[in-house]
Structure 1
């Protein structure tokens, strides 16, 4: 069996992963607050933990892995969106969850085993809060219930901060009813115009942190294997989850392994609306960037390193994927290459796994006429193990061309045949040492968006992002 090693944020070292029960491997990942489209940074943890989900299923069996990712559907941002639009909250959250599924599906991510909505677990949250109050870990004040941070001696262990440091560096709400500035809200009152539920402390709604603790306990138990999310959630969200969960269920240890992915940048800068470099996944998809290309770019950087989205990386990813799809056209996948599996098992080294795929592709392409079928089958299975070159993500690589100002998609054989003819004319011109003519043909093809690749076995070509057929008129 392949040994998985993961960097555990809790212990600050890479460790051999040993599940509590190999027949029931359990993972929880913090999901989105559903009030708007997911931006590109939101998509990074989805892709990262999708890869881990695939790896766990491969090693332990698809029926032995449970992956839970929640939807936060009660939140002040959702309330504000409802007030601004006049729409019912449920309509907004249902619509946003639909958008989220569509966009994440477009990136080739598998749906988790369970996707609980916070509003479906209010009774469990209330019960956990009651337990915390009874044990002296929480207190009621002015209609609020707050967790008493000083009641949990290990608070700050995950992020490596002392309470004094956290008070100095954190933006915390200083409220007169708090005993300690770091105490955080478990329950807060709701006026009649906001969502609310009956509770022992009056009509109200849960704080953000209690949601994940209650859902994780209900679906995965007091102790489970892996908890994941973006590094921005490490403090205070994950720190607070640990505190309230371990106090409410001291018989368990909550998550054994903590994984955090680093943040995303755009062209070397933090993504922000003020810089004009903020965009959603849907923005990219609508601009014609295939979801498979987005996924490939994200896989190119190790999850514990900041990821930089650049136009150059997008172009390179698209060219690579077009080439790879051409290599495996009509191929039936076999079993994934063991080196790809082992590389991925080494703390989700997706960049290393892609490097191995490049090597496999080069081997297949080195003699495309005689390449062994088994090599292609292994290559395709290895790529699909990473969630690329799948049938679900296929189709974008079809011929794309601009004609009369509008974007059209076509696969007519005569288009490809015409380009094959021009490539052949260029070959004959070079053979006749008519390099001026060969250069003229190449320049016209370049201008039309046809990408030529000269190699030891001849010239291959592929379509760029778009192809202007009218520019080929220069060759007639």
Structure 2
């Protein structure tokens, strides 16, 4: 190990009050520190992100099992993973190569095919197409590489064969293959207390053993392999596909927290056995569940799901993303109209701010502009604080709160009834806030239909503002009441007006 890296690690443990790594089963990678810290379930603490190349990272996400439509529980997971990926790329200049696995052969897909009398491949293609359409509508970036189980049977066979040859797996009389957990001393590193494994059957040696390959059953699709006919087990799919794409070492492996055990635990075990290494994935990213009030989580089995198309009929993709940004990616998020309304109001506040800045800097008054060093100093502090938040396990909630407070304080200067005029700092502030929000995946756009009607609303709001100022000067209560009626009617059609002495601005509230 390089001497400077050894010194860095000792300082890191002292400054950040980290547990000694020798007492955990997480191994700090050799390479280049990025300055980022991320929670790792193996170490059970935030650990430094160290990459072989400080500007190149590999990332694999467990994708959907395509047997049904995706719901907003899936959406919250993939939106949050998209946010984390964008942070790595946009804020820390990491060239992230992303891959996602699609499970297109599985018990649930086979069952759906039998129930609907449809070929399993048709079922899988239909729901995969729908999934990518949903992801696009949520402004989730498509992965660089997409791997489908049905297209990698050969790689899966070779992967299993090597584990069998190393005597870490055994073939049973029905043509199935099981991983022998009793021969893997590190089993349980991701999830320390397993109370149960896959059910015991007539073929398994140990309760915690899991299927790498399932022997052929009547009426089910199967593929011929050297030890018999059948199909892949669930866990082996990701390991074989990731290894084919990224080799023996993976930087980031991501999915919902429900995948931590048994799926990710089993992936890590069989991949370490295949590559003869102590650690396969360096950083596990697990996203908390989306809950419906009163339920443990949103799931099809509980019949409490809301489809992504249903969500987008009521709220914009930006509003849902803002709700995700205002929560911690690792913890559960409770879905409710109140939560969405809070996110929508936060988004509106930013949009109001951008419009108010535009009006402010185009002020036709005769006073000369000034730089205002305090505003520029405050901007620099906010930039530094937000980078610090994002470095600490992608703390977007603190980042959004910090931005909200900043624009609120800046707005007081914009709305102040005096002759102060600071166009340059205001533009720099608006540009910074816009850049951060765009880099987090918000679009900040209105629809084409909204853009057409927007010009009409602009004219109406400007006219109302002129009338309102005239009424204030004359203290004409009837005219002021008429202005209030116009404002309330606009609100009824989802247009909110924000008044000040200098100007009136508006935003859509849907």
Fold similarity call, TM over 0.5: yes
State the secondary structure of the residue aligned to 2:286.
strand
Q: Structure 1 residue aligned with 2:128, among 97, 102, 119?
A: 97
Please give the alpha-carbon distance, in whole angstroms, between the structure 2 residues aligned to 1:140 and 1:317: 53
Please give the alpha-carbon distance, in whole angstroms, between the structure 2 residues aligned to 1:151 and 1:435: 85
The answer to whether the Cα contact below 8 Å between 1:125 and 1:214 also exists between their aligned partners in 2 is yes
The answer to whether the Cα contact below 8 Å between 1:5 and 1:347 also exists between their aligned partners in 2 is yes
Residue 118 of structure 1 corresponds to 149
1:246 CA displacement: 0.9
Residue 224 of structure 1 corresponds to 250
CA spacing shift, 1:59–1:441, aligned 2, 3 Å = closer
Please give the alpha-carbon distance, in whole angstroms, between the structure 1 residues aligned to 2:388 and 2:133: 31
CA spacing shift, 1:274–1:218, aligned 2, 3 Å = closer
Please give the alpha-carbon distance, in whole angstroms, between the structure 1 residues aligned to 2:349 and 2:453: 17
CA spacing shift, 1:137–1:262, aligned 2, 3 Å = same
Q: Structure 1 residue aligned with 2:110, among 65, 73, 79?
A: 79
Please give the alpha-carbon distance, in whole angstroms, between the structure 2 residues aligned to 1:268 and 1:367: 44
- 2:208 is equivalent to residue 166 of structure 1: no
1:214 CA displacement: 0.5
CA spacing shift, 1:316–1:437, aligned 2, 3 Å = farther
Residue 432 of structure 2 corresponds to 378
RMSD across aligned C-alpha pairs, in angstroms?
A: 2.9
Q: Structure 2: give runs of 5+ residues left out of the alignment.
A: 1-32, 359-379, 416-420
Q: Structure 1 residue aligned with 2:446, among 372, 395, 401?
A: 395
- 2:56 is equivalent to residue 9 of structure 1: no
Residue 83 of structure 2 corresponds to 51
Please give the alpha-carbon distance, in whole angstroms, between the structure 2 residues aligned to 1:277 and 1:442: 41
State the secondary structure of the residue aligned to 2:195.
helix
Count, aligned residues: 442
1:422 CA displacement: 4.0
1:317 CA displacement: 2.3
CA spacing shift, 1:356–1:180, aligned 2, 3 Å = same
1:293 CA displacement: 1.1
CA spacing shift, 1:360–1:106, aligned 2, 3 Å = farther
Please give the alpha-carbon distance, in whole angstroms, between the structure 2 residues aligned to 1:156 and 1:97: 32
1:273 CA displacement: 6.0
- 2:326 is equivalent to residue 300 of structure 1: yes
1:252 CA displacement: 5.9
Please give the alpha-carbon distance, in whole angstroms, between the structure 2 residues aligned to 1:55 and 1:414: 37
1:125 CA displacement: 1.1
Please give the alpha-carbon distance, in whole angstroms, between the structure 2 residues aligned to 1:412 and 1:280: 30
Give per-residue Cα distances to partners, 1:302-361, cap 9 Å, x unaligned. 112211222122223223334434544699xxx994543332121010101112322343
1:438 CA displacement: 3.8
- 2:320 is equivalent to residue 278 of structure 1: no
Deviates further, 104-113 or 443-452: 443-452
Q: Structure 1: give runs of 5+ residues left out of the alignment.
A: 400-408, 466-476
- 2:378 is equivalent to residue 352 of structure 1: no
Residue 367 of structure 1 corresponds to 414
Normalised TM-score (structure 2): 0.78
